[in-house]
Structure 1
Amino acid sequence: MPSDIPSQHKALVLEAVGTDLQVQTLPTPQADTGSVVVRVIAAGVLSYQREVYGGQRTYAFPMPLVGGFSAIARVAAVGPDATVLQPRQLVFVDCFIRARDDPSARYLTAIHEGGSEGSKKLMRDVWRNGTFAEYYKAPLENCIPLDEARLCQGLGYSAEDLMYLCYLLVPFGGFRDIKLEPGETVVVCPATGGFGGAGVQVAVAMGARVIAMGRNEKELARLKEHVKRGTPSASVETVKITGDETADTAALQAFGTIDAVLDLSPPDAINSTHLKSAILALRQGGRCSLMGFAKDFVPIWKVISDDITMKGKLMYSREDMLLFVKMLERGLFPTGTDFVDVKTFALEDWKDAFDEAAEYIGIGRHVMITP
């Protein structure tokens, strides 16, 4: 390991669910075959991060654990098999771990251990810790190179701005999975959360017309204003979710042909009827990407009689990430606060960061920790 990397570093450690995380001094990881060590610039904070570590969301993972999510970082050291990544290079570090010999073994490191014996083994023995640390060891393939000259010097993004990738990539994976095309109309539901709001931005960048559904009319209005300010040519409509399945279906159908639906329902919307309304509004041959937690939503005769395609999707692929970064580098997204407005916290202020993340949600809003 190069001499300019310290032998020890600070990290935010969870010893037991429901207890406070602690800033601890740990040995700095070393790069070996198949891995990269990065210096973390900014690590994203999920809106429900405190629920994960507080036990309100009963996610399973081994402990002790360095918390985290995805991150923007600079390469500090690479293993001997790295052919593209170089020290000091700016990268997006993805938290979605995939087993190299079993594509079904997948999980979000530092968040949950997945559902297979393979994913549990990987988290327990290899890729356990997260990015709430000064240094982080990641799988080589989880580090996506970023053209710093183009993105930062050319387009004006900060490293912290680029952390918004962790929200944008999720809906992009869903849209790609159902092959959303430019000019099509897609319903994003609900659209007032972090991932839903990001989904509206992504669909606009992909050239689609968007119908954003949500219960909060004030947030729907802010969403539309945010998108139009950054992309004046964007076609964005909004529909308030009323809970009346028939009325909500009619409100969607009033906008004409609907080609696709992206659902990102959080757990607290599991019994909502909005997704059923969106599916009922689809044209014949329409498609639906299921990335959330809605249940009992399938209008079975509609799906059968109109040849509706319904696909579940967990996160995104490496190919999706590489393509998305190309879109960003080509200037298909706005910049500045028309893109994202970030709030940053130090490791020691993790409680404030978690609390802020739970409230500071919706399109263009993001909280992160800067070790």
Structure 2
Amino acid sequence: MSSPVPLSHRALVLESTTAGFHLQTVPTPLPTPGSAVLQILQAGIISYHREIYDGTRHYAFPQPLVGGSSAIARVAALGPDAVALTVGQLVFVDCVVRGRDDPSELFLTAISEGARAGSKKLFRDVWRDGVWAEYARMPLENCVPLNEARLCKELGYGVKELMYLCHLLVPFGGLRDIKVEPGETVVVSPATGGYGGAAVKVAVALGARVIAMGRDEGKLAALKEHVLKGAPGASIETVRITGDEKADTAALMAFGTVDAVLDLSPPEAGKSTHLKSAVAALRRGGRVSMMGFVDVPAASWKLVGDDITLKGKLMYEREDMFQFVKMLERGLYPKGKDLVDAKTFALEDWKEAMDVAAEYNGIGKLVSFAP
């Protein structure tokens, strides 16, 4: 039985990138057609949130606004057109908001308004505020039901472990987009960051053999140990990125046929040769999911001569989220606290939380708010 929705609640409001956040008491939104009002239980903090909200990354978004991205929440109230969700239900709250009459118009909640007029309108006029608050209003289609009895009672996940979905879903979208099959060999590059480490877990859950690339041998060894602890018998190899393009290609090819590459390179890796090495190691007909921020990573003779498929992918699709939750509920990922080591903060500790998130980044690590 849910409690009545309060008239007001606490939220982290960003007045401007220069002024920073202030914890304020604000009116609780009312449910409207096509929406759900949610009681936020966990709200994810990504490693570069601090750089977004202090203006370092120059992301475009309206100000003021309530910050945030994705969340784990409980449905508090529903618009009159809701037919599947129920009050009290546990849900994953997706941060990718799409236009209902044109899904190509999309933006990331409280992060980036996108480049098109439609997405900017949706962000500024309809769905401005994020989930760093005790309550939030989000589109019905952004609320993905979670089987609380199965996930929390039988498999032992708490809500803070379930918040790790926000990391796992991103590489899941890329791997599904290039149709990775069980038994295939996938190169994840780079693999020792937050999303790269999550990608290794996802690829293993899909039944793939993984070759993880990274510059730090210690982090690669820790990554392998972590994955094998949660998934004994998983097939995972590691290759250190040396900066010698041909040597790194040879190191990858030493493991045999390479079917696919998932790249999650940050902008800082734009001059690195690791992705060129990975593409060069692909078999004929190999596929690449480019989810990072680097230029086309190969000579035309390789792409054309070996029928290589390059696909850019932003985040994931709605059906990907439902498929991922099915896998999680079937027990294909590490159970309970073995999935992630999470740190949580109160809303009033927002500065410390974002500082920690910037550093506490890597395989199986997550920082979130518990409003």
Query: Is the alpha carbon distance of 1:336 and 1:155 closer, same or farther for their aligned partners in structure 2, counting shifts above 3 Å?
Result: closer
* Corresponding residue for residue 142 of structure 2: 142
Report the Cα offset of residue 180 of structure 1: 0.2
* Corresponding residue for residue 297 of structure 1: 297
Query: What amino acid is aligned across from residue 72 of structure 2 in structure 1?
Result: I
* Corresponding residue for residue 356 of structure 1: 356
Query: What amino acid is aligned across from residue 316 of structure 1 in structure 2?
Result: Y
* Corresponding residue for residue 26 of structure 2: 26
Moved more, 295-304 or 6-15: 295-304
Residue 47, structure 1, aligned to residue 47, structure 2: yes
Report the Cα offset of residue 29 of structure 1: 0.5
* Corresponding residue for residue 183 of structure 1: 183
Report the Cα offset of residue 296 of structure 1: 4.9
Match of 2:367, SS state, is strand
* Corresponding residue for residue 315 of structure 2: 315
Q: Structure 2 CA distance, aligned partners of 1:19 and 1:223?
A: 38
Give CA-to-partner distance per residue, 1:291-340, whole Å, 9 cap, x none. 00112522221000000001000100110000000000000001234210
Query: What amino acid is aligned across from residue 138 of structure 1 in structure 2?
Result: M
* Corresponding residue for residue 88 of structure 1: 88
Q: Structure 2 CA distance, aligned partners of 1:56 and 1:242?
A: 30
* Corresponding residue for residue 98 of structure 1: 98
Q: Sequence identity of aligned pairs in percent? A: 67
Q: Structure 2 CA distance, aligned partners of 1:62 and 1:32?
A: 22
* Maintained 8 Å contact 1:75/1:88: yes
Query: How many residues are aligned here?
Result: 370
* Maintained 8 Å contact 2:69/2:131: yes
* Corresponding residue for residue 260 of structure 2: 260
Indicate the RMSD between aligned Cα atoms, in angstroms.
Answer: 1.0
* Corresponding residue for residue 120 of structure 2: 120
* Maintained 8 Å contact 1:71/1:131: yes
Moved more, 178-187 or 76-85: 76-85
Gaps spanning 5+ residues in structure 2: where? none
Match of 2:20, SS state, is coil
> Normalization by structure 1: what TM-score?
0.98
Q: Structure 2 CA distance, aligned partners of 1:3 and 1:179?
A: 43
Q: Structure 1 CA distance, aligned partners of 2:349 and 2:301?
A: 52
Q: Structure 2 CA distance, aligned partners of 1:283 and 1:369?
A: 44
* Corresponding residue for residue 12 of structure 1: 12
Alignment of 1:326-337 (within 5 A): 326-337=326-337
Q: Structure 1 CA distance, aligned partners of 2:213 and 2:343?
A: 26
Query: What amino acid is aligned across from residue 364 of structure 1 in structure 2?
Result: G
* Corresponding residue for residue 223 of structure 1: 223
Q: Structure 2 CA distance, aligned partners of 1:204 and 1:215?
A: 21
Query: What amino acid is aligned across from residue 335 of structure 1 in structure 2?
Result: K
Report the Cα offset of residue 20 of structure 1: 2.1
Moved more, 15-24 or 149-158: 15-24
Moved more, 142-151 or 216-225: 216-225
* Maintained 8 Å contact 1:167/1:194: yes
